Structure 1
Amino acid sequence: MLKDFSVQSLFMGCLTAFVGFASSFAVVLHGLQAVGATDAQAASALTALSISMGLCAIVLSTATKLPVSIAWSTPGAALLANAGAVEGGFPVAVGAFLVCAALIVIAGLFRPLGRAVAAIPAPLANAMLAGVLLGLCFAPVKAIGFNPLLGLPIIIAWIVVGAFKRLWAVPAALGAFALVLAFGVKVPDGALTSLQHSLLPSVELVRPVFTVAGLISIALPLFIVTMASQNIPGIAVLKVHHYDPRPGPLFAVTGVFSLMSAPFGGHAVNLAAITAAMCAGQDAHADPKRRYWAAIIAGVVYIILGLLAGAVTAFVALAPPILIEAVAGLALVGALSNSALNAFQKAESREAAAITFLVTASGVSFAGISGAFWGLIAGGLMMALSHGVQLLKR
């Protein structure tokens, strides 16, 4: 293995981890807090997720000699932000995280379940994801309405840097957020002392509570979104780069590491989709057989970043919540546009996708169950009705 190591893979691995963490931790942080996590619990979850991601990437890439990139479920975190707090608070959410992780393991080991997830119509899955993301993508505009002097620098940085290098757009927005926080926000007395105390990593064990509402509102939609938007595309990215992994074992292992992070507040660990292309591409190394080192290095850096998660969370907590929501919204603009395009591409499923999107985006809960689940059900019924009518016409 040491003979396969290269400086090129070292650089790409570090870049992958930085981009993966910086571009989406705001989404994860906001999603966890939306379902009731305290700042300490959110910091614990970031630490647990980052360490689980890093260890999972190291284990899988070392075992398979493939550049298997691992990430937290960014769409899943956006789903949490859309779902909001459930009755019973964060312990119910943690119970749902454990159920979701178990489902991912089962999907990897039990092929029929994996096939069933893959059989969910792509337009409906994309429409549900677009509906989940829509509310958070309004945050940049709301930030300008809240305070133009604070919100505009973040958006301008994202636009200007993104025009030259899309990959660095969100890190640039995050940098602008840090500058706004340093020079434009009055820091409360004693906050800096609290920040210094947060430099040491800490995790907080949350006792899970299992409820039907948590299962249907969080666990099932989180499982579907994670599989459809992360794990399955992650396999596709590897195949595009001429790797041929066995999907089942990879899914199962990510589920196991999700189970490890869930008691500490982590929502889901899965195959990376976007950053996977960085480790699997030619920039990681000219020889495809040596690119797995980039994923291993990324895993090591994720662990280091996870140990600093407490300080990151404490720093973010100094700012008005709408500002970090704006960064999160900007990070999801690309995902929103892609999911919306894929949802409404086919004319025959457009109405069903629209219903799924509208019900999900409404954010309305029925019987204590979030709109994401009902959106998928409503769209599925509409699609089934349309197919039935077409059969009767024949």
Structure 2
Amino acid sequence: MTKKQVQESYNNYVMNTYKRNDVAIKSGKASRAQGVDGEGYIDFTSGIGVNALGFCDEEWANAIAEQAKLLNHTSNLYYIEPCAQLAEGLSKVTGLGKTFFCNSGAEANEGAIKVARKRSFDKYGKGRGRIITLQNSFHGRTITTLAATGQEVFHNYFFPFTEGFSFAEANNIESMKSLLGDDVCGVLIELVQGEGGVVPLNKDYVQAVKALCREHDLAFMIDEVQTGIGRTGSFFAYEQFDVKPDVVTFAKGIGGGLPLGGFIANEEYSNVLGPSDHGTTFGANPIVCAGAVVVLNRVAKQEFLTEVKHKGEYIKERLLKLPHVKSVSGLGMMIGIELGCKATAAELSQKCHENGLMILTAKAKLRMLPPLTISYAEIDEGLKILEAVLTNAQ
């Protein structure tokens, strides 16, 4: 099919829930993609942080291909080796306890919310189920995770929402204290607000939130759907804030390109859920887990994480020298670019795609989530395209 034919098919048969770029991808390798008409692209998106090892990593692809020929699916009614390997590996890397596997970040956050509420119910009884999140947060697109999301722009049309959420001002501990009450069971935060504009929280603030949770016996939960699995230069971003959560959620990068999410709990919270309290048919699918084991074994190595930090610093240093770049935010290879020109981030993103660079936006910023394996040559090539686009911007 040509690009035009693919686009016509989408327009006729796929719901129009995304404003797609004028790009139809046929294949990819590492940090390069090729369109159906032969056009080439440098990828600064990794599928919104999913392709941690880039397009079609050979070791990852071989692992899922072999597993697909061995066992494709059974459900969670049986013990499956790839799931056991992945869960054990995650526990050893994080020092936390048990993992629940699901399919997406929203589902992971739903599960964490259920853990917090059930733990509180078990210990204190009814009436203690409210969870505090942050203004400008994003936790998913299900009705409950939208209710937990502190951005009204995502709320329109879908009322009524699941009750039991309050929104504190980020980096303002007094704001969070003002929302406390006898009905609160937990706090859920992102350490870098990705969809909110790639805005990191202050370290002192995060530690104060953790102390507040300890003082009031609240579940301290961290949403690392976008920041986790090496994206910020540590396996989980919370390591850079010198805290450890009761529950941490993850998704995106762990599957390496296949749908996988989950949450890991500490010892106290690991046994809150029992049989029939929670479930998911496709969670811990053998094929997905086989690929995730490859991702884990590569990304969890300290030399790999150090290289992610170095690449992130290199990109930020280069970006600050480009025209119209006012500031750069983020951690590691999760980067937001504040612009100082009349052209919007959406318009500049479109120009980048027209010139062979796949890039993202987050509110008024350009956003970069390159594959963690991207080479310096590919970084330079992508930044050269971005520089040309910004030079010609008004």
TM-score under structure 2 length normalisation:
0.23
Q: Which has the higher strand share?
A: 2
TM-score normalised by length of structure 1? 0.23
